Amino acid sequence: MVSALAVGARRTFEAVCAGKRGFSPVTLFDPGEQRCRIAAEVRGLDVAAIAPEGQESRFSRTDAMALLAAREALEEAGVLTRALRLGIALGGTTGGMHETELQVFGAPPGPLAPVRVARLMDHPLCATTEHLASAFGAVRTSTIVSACSSSGIAIAEALAWLESGAVDVVLAGGADGLCRLTFVGFNSLGATDSGPCRPFDEARQGLTLGEGAAFLALEREESARARGAEVLAFLAGASVLAEGHHITHPEPSGERAATMLRRAVEHAGLSLDAVGYVNAHGTGTRQNDSMEASALRRVFGDRVGRVLVSSSKSQLGHTLGAAGALEAAITVLSLQRGIVPPTSGLERPEASDLGHVTGAAKHVEIEVALSSSFGFGGMGSVLAFERASAEPRPLAARSALSVVVTGLGESTSDALTELDPERSRRFDAGAAGAALAATRALGMARLEAEETGLVVGSAYGNVDRSVSFLLRVAERGPKFANPAEFPHLVGSAAAGNASVYAGLRGPVLTASERERSGESAIARALSLLELGAANAVLAGAVSARDPIVDRVLEPLRSDGVVVPRGEGAAFLALEVEEDALSRGARVLARVLRHVELLSGAASALAEEGAPSARSALVAGAVGERLEAAIASSAWQKALRLSILERTGHHEAVGAFALSAAVALIAEGTADDVLVVSGLADACYLTRLVAPGRGSA
């Protein structure tokens, strides 16, 4: 862990248990005349000293904190070696926004110079994941953006990877650095406290922002025991759901949050009676704390006063995308050490019937603890942890999961004209495209929105809209920040808006992997289905024309032809085959295999075997290395469709390629289609077959 209280997990935990608070005046930037001028800032962070030699200019505060926390987790686990198959699952929201803002606030008045515009793209959300993968080696990565539940969901996905045997160890967690955008944004919403936050207190006035990073090293028990590693706790279960209620306000009854809590315990195969501690989301805002108290009453009933509750944000601040990981780490240490930390600043609990820990930490042996995270757009996750000394119990055997496609939806332009104007009046083109394409896929599949999830691939969000917001602040001051704009600038805004528009209440999140965001969204959706977090998920990507992105990213050259940048959204309805058949759905295609590769495309293509006479290859954005791998494989002679000719080049091309592949099968043109994409070393291979076909 890296926090405002300390660098290091044990030091942070000890400070939290001692009731220390990490709040102080902001020094990273001038907060101006705003309601709140304090934060839980990590002091003395020397980014240049932490970054690998030669990469100082490419490293952000978020990257540096992530690298420190990740190295600590791997060293403690004894797996700081490339001999094991390592997966890296990271959640975040701000990435290198602080460094990006330096190009805006350090510029003279007027239009930004071309060199500054180019620097705006230096730190995408997935940059931190890429730095960690480079530092430690990884066979699989994931960058999840789901507001304040980002790193909680990343940890949940790690569980799916380990259960499927895709990796040996997962470095799962999150990192987020402070930046003006979120600081001004939350102040403009009136969501901050002028002093240190007071979660669950009658006098609470809002949250206090913070920054930090935390990672858990996760592996299967038999692997850890075989290595002689110390087991700190068990990640026993997880749930990921959304409210489908509002982009900023939580659903006040707490009904959906209660469902998340119950499902995490059910997924763990445990009883609610075993839960002794909840590390609550506890932001200190009026609405969130009230909702969370209602959810706890719904879940624990007459026992609610005997379940200990505390909020770590009262000491670490609200670290946004990193919050779930920091709080998960604290929950693990609480179980291991038999100490439950207090909620600092809580003097007069509004919900006095809850088992609040106030004043001093409590020394008590807890068997099972929950860690909750709820974010913008109603996206939430709950993790269930169990003591390392828990009685062994057999895990239920899982049969191989068969996933089918039951719906397709696309949007190429002017999506706003086809949406309800009242419900989409704040949408930008990205949110509108995602909402329209996802709704069309939902309709074709004839799925109920109530339990259907949504994964939106989005590489950069709305860069132009974010820069316009910041320029206004730079030129006129924080008091001119538009509170109605801020919620639509976060990286998960398109997913949040689309889920609320369509009423989707299954798992909702954003996958961000540059030009591979569409393929990554499919991979994240498959993980959610494997985890049992949903039976159906709409997955795809959206890319809207953005003046800044278009200026920085040159048109793609493919086979000597310049492919101009385009835009659009494409989504697939992915469903567990058994559920699809039981409700009589029309199956368009079956997902035979979906492979994420950080290297080794040639060998993976060779393993696919020779295509049949009715096979086809659909190419998304394909770079020279992958093109050479295709040319040397048996698939070079298959019917080939290049999706770029239809869509132009953009970051959602992979989703369009997958949609086109499904259409080829559904219309009877092919019964076995391989989708390939990848501009650098990393690539994706997806094998789709006609319904009823077995292994190819």
| Vertex 461: Cα angle to 319 and 317 (nearest 5) | 5
d(CA 40, CA 24): 6
Backbone phi, psi, residue 614, to 5°: -110, 35
d(CA 258, CA 50): 41
> Annotated catalytic residue: which of 148, 179, 197, 683?
148
Which bin fits 387, alpha (ψ -120 to 50), beta or left (φ > 0)?
beta
Active site residue 281: yes
Q: How many CB atoms lie within 10 A of CB 457?
A: 34
User: Quick one: which of 430, 405, 435 has its CA closest to 418?
Assistant: 435
d(CA 427, CA 33): 29
Per DSSP, the three-state class of 474 is helix
CB 673 within 8 A of CB 638: no
d(CA 605, CA 618): 13
Backbone phi, psi, residue 357, to 5°: -100, 115
- Alpha carbon of 134 to those of 82, 282, 393, 598: distances in Å? 11, 35, 37, 11
Residue 374's beta-bridge partner residues? 380
- Alpha carbon of 114 to those of 105, 409, 560: distances in Å? 15, 37, 27
Which bin fits 609, alpha (ψ -120 to 50), beta or left (φ > 0)?
left
Alpha helices in 399-490 (DSSP H): 429-445, 463-476
Strand 339-340 relative to strand 362-363: parallel, antiparallel, unpaired? antiparallel
| Vertex 322: Cα angle to 319 and 323 (nearest 5) | 60
Which bin fits 359, alpha (ψ -120 to 50), beta or left (φ > 0)?
left
Alpha helices in 108-202 (DSSP H): 114-119, 127-136, 150-164, 180-188
| Vertex 468: Cα angle to 466 and 469 (nearest 5) | 65
Per DSSP, the three-state class of 569 is strand
d(CA 619, CA 87): 26
Residue whose entry in the numeric block shows the structure tokens 């024309």: 545
Burial of 395 (0-12, 13-18, 19+ CB in 10 A): exposed
Q: How many CB atoms lie within 10 A of CB 460?
A: 25
User: Quick one: which of 171, 216, 210 has its CA closest to 329?
Assistant: 216
> What number of helices (H) and strands (E) belong to the chain?
23, 26
User: Quick one: which of 690, 622, 630, 621 has its CA closest to 662?
Assistant: 690
> Annotated catalytic residue: which of 98, 123, 131, 281?
281
> Annotated catalytic residue: which of 131, 318, 488, 650?
318
3-state secondary structure 68-90: HHHHHHHHHHCCCCCCCCEEEEE
- Say which residues have a Cβ less than 8 Å from residue 259's Cβ, sequence separation at least 6: 239, 241
Positions annotated as catalytic residues are: 148, 281, 318
